[in-house]
Structure 1
Amino acid sequence: MLTVRVPIKGKEYFNLYVNGKPAFSAFDEELGSLFSFEGTVLLQYGWTLQGRQADHRRAYLVCEKSLTGNYTGIYLPNVKESVAVLGIFYGRKIDEARQALFNLEKLAGKDIYLYSVGFWQKVSCLIDGKENKRSLAIKSNLEVLYTKYKSSLDKGNCL
């Protein structure tokens, strides 16, 4: 489980948005929201400068370090545990990642975040990939990847 604290907007030097499957949540008026997430999580940071939104955004596709074999763990702001980074996205890639997650959630709901690290590495590659200036993380490619992993899970195979 990953424990993430989402600060109240405008109270810290960055805003944080999180996509994942929450297992627990709590709210404090001073500190913000505290969540525990299962599986893979997309953390989206947006920095603020003197109370105004800066043009710098960054997103990390992360999972628990213990779920991976060879990854070294790093610590990210407002995340309690050390995480393994499966993908880093800047600028327009953040919007493509959010759209990809939206499409995957439409297919499987929040349970998609419980899929294996290998699945999420492939999703990260699709988000990073381009063909003729067009992202490879289109709905049809995500559906093919999801179907492949879903059928192997139904048969009891680990990927």
Structure 2
Amino acid sequence: GWLLARTAFGLRVRAVGEHPEAAASVGVNVARTRYLAVAASGALAALGGVYLALDQHQFTDQMTAGRGFIALAATIFGRWEAKRVAFACLLFAAAETFQIQLQGTQLLPSQFVEMIPYVLTIVALAGVVGRAVPPAALGRDEPA
């Protein structure tokens, strides 16, 4: 939240996401800013992957188990606002932790227990669909 809300770089990132034409009209290099933002997000995702691999002490095929889609769901559920997205990530992480803890109890079949984070993701998105407004220029090419 702080970086996007209180710095010149954050203002440029928000501007190129909401209205790239206006950002370009005041001299912001839209393509450069977008590439920097994507590179920064990729670097953060890579750090998350490294942490996951270090925690496992090995690389395993399918070790992410769809967490990228859960991260996208957290972004939509958080309505593209950093604090809300952080809360959504904590909520989904709590569901993952609950699922791991519940596996040891054998109260439910393991297949049902493993579904908990994904079912929570679907339920959370079902309540937000149609109300979450993405950045206006999401998916649009930069201005000519």
Higher RCO (CA-CA < 8 Å; seq separation 6+): 2
TM-score by length of 1: 0.33
As a proportion of its length, which structure holds more strand? Answer: 1
Structure of greater Rg: 2
